[in-house]
Amino acid sequence: MAEIELNVLTGQCLKRRMDNIELVKKEVLAWQNYRNNKNSKVNWQFTTDDARIKLSRLYPTIEN
């Protein structure tokens, strides 16, 4: 989810040249406030069951 937000931040806020770090901080803070107030959500289309099938090597089976 963090990678998704960073991609959105880059596309909506950081896609242009800014002359100083103070401007970057100001723009990112404004973007962050906007995103938080909008209550943006992630539309997950990859279910846990799908993940367990596709990524089986990352979900080891524990045998008794």
The first and second tokens of residue 43, run together, are: 């539309």
Average model confidence (pLDDT) across the chain: 87
Residue written as tokens 């990678």?
3
- The more confident residue out of 56 and 31 is 31
The first and second tokens of residue 25, run together, are: 């901080």
Q: What band does 64 get if pLDDT is binned at 50, 70 and 90?
A: low
* Domain ranges (residues) in the chain: 1-58
Interhelix angle for 21-38 vs 2-12, to 10°? 120
Statement: residue 50 has pLDDT above 80: yes
**Residue 4 confidence (pLDDT):** 86
Q: What band does 41 get if pLDDT is binned at 50, 70 and 90?
A: confident
